[in-house]
Structure 1
């Protein structure tokens, strides 16, 4: 017959379940009265006993109120160092198959009695064996399938030089109980302590002649040093696996970033292509506008040159008027006024008519000059506006980097010379004759193939 198992796993730490503040589905309420409570103390009272003095001493030395500890339990709950408010282990001998609490008649079995006696001795020596683990709640359950203990304890470590002198620290508490400082996940104080507690339970079983095997300890047939060495290798492999996972995540993220960047570049390329197409259209419009502006400027200059009366024409008119004026002056004979006053001038009728004609021409020319002056002023404004528009268009083309492309585009709009037209017509004619010869050669080729 195989030996009974010793189980020493970590518990969930549900004090309400342990103390039967509620009844779970796996509990037999009729046997709840059989349970045995060794100690039941509130967490607040337990913390006051363990850390109350240390908290008060620490607060007394603080000048700033925000550094004082109001509730040490809450401080541990919110700690980032991984501490628990308390810890729990479940201690069990056997299973429901070899150590049931009751038999088919509802009576306590002999195997259960052996387990109860062993667990009772284990609990009563727990605090002496573990002085730095304050046992504040401990219950023996007999209302489930197999007898088992829930032991709930608070680690208490002292001797700190800074901050609180006494604190909640499972690793420090176990070190002060003689366990070596941990080196990793599978080689630490907690594992060593649990191994010692299992060994103690095995000793209790041997004293009673109970054959046992370990459960809740995955060492198989390895010794503790061998188990630690194996677990260190496992830890290294797990670390490597975590690194590989991290690298894989980084690569996946990099791939996602590259895919997103590629998508962005494609979108940018499409946007640039659309922008280039828009610039081509703008260039065409600008070419047309510049061409129209240059044509208007050229026409305006031609009109101005044609009607430029302010220079040569005006000089000619002035010269002619001066010549005629001199003739009239020489033809006029002054006559003295017998009654005094302003002199008179005597003219021949023909000279008088000539003078009137010259005067009429002068008046007409003055009116014509005024008319042309207004028209010239308007043309000058128009030319200035067109010139400014052309310059703006040229600056716009240059700012968009379309200078050379725009020049080539404008050249392509220029009308072909007669020589170029003749050359293009010759190329078209040669292509037409070549296609015609090929078409004529096809029937002849088919005839040869049929004869062969």
Structure 2
């Protein structure tokens, strides 16, 4: 027997599907014959599908107004996507397949078989409601589902999208009359036709606008080939992405080491400059002391010149009637005693100044050598600093190439990996210590 097969978009009234109210076209006495194959809370489904993705998405947002607090409300109040979709399937009509007729009971069995494998055929749809109504004119099936896509590059990586969900199955829109949804619905009607045929019902396709089944199968095969090619491209991109991750990880490690080394070198350079300043100040101080010692030495030369005169110029002549004893006691001894004290004092002063001068010269030489060494170290630090700046520029270039968010993501992943590795080594050491005891 031939019967039409219908597939259409439903309003998505869960209260109607679950018979929380009775419409005029419903026979309440037959509601008990309805079949509820699946009935879940759509909000719970949203938590199941999207909570982790929303958490990852919010963690990347710097601005609070861009974060999504409740994804269900975000979609419900938005304009781009519906909270969920509903498809309605029916075999025959009220005249040839009424609910109370034998044909209606056969249609009921075919629809139940069709619903049983709907989720398996459409893994990109999260089905949460399946209702078979036998209390209206003709048996029909309501299927409520949330279409979603994973691995999204825009917004949360797992998000609601009917268009992308259908594209993952190879359904690509080609004009207003051949949309993705129309192609998918035609494919589902073909599946229902196959099942109905097993129950003796042949699909009666009325009108000339419908495409032939073989043509649709051919197009479906083409779409599957296109999807396979895209999957291959996706696998290649994933390999390249993994290689980029590895490169970024290595660069991050090198840049981290470079940054640590740069900070260390900066500290060493600052310390070296401080020591150089201190050494210069000390050198200036000792140079002043050296100049002072030179001045004293010149004074000693002056005194030495004064007392290098002949004795007859230093000692006064004796008087005509003066005795030798009187000349010795009154004139010679005082002069000689004065000379003796002066020479002794000069000798002590000479020893003291010589020791100071030796110390100043020794310290001056050491500071001079130290300054030379510090100058060489400073030049080395400047050279290393130049290299580190170049490496920092390379890091910025990589950051621009990979992207700000991607760079932060890779660095955060690397930090997490390092922390995990550190914890693992710590646990291994603790375990080893316990075993040793």
In the superposition, the TM-score normalised over structure 2's length comes to 0.47
* Structure with greater Cα Rg: 1
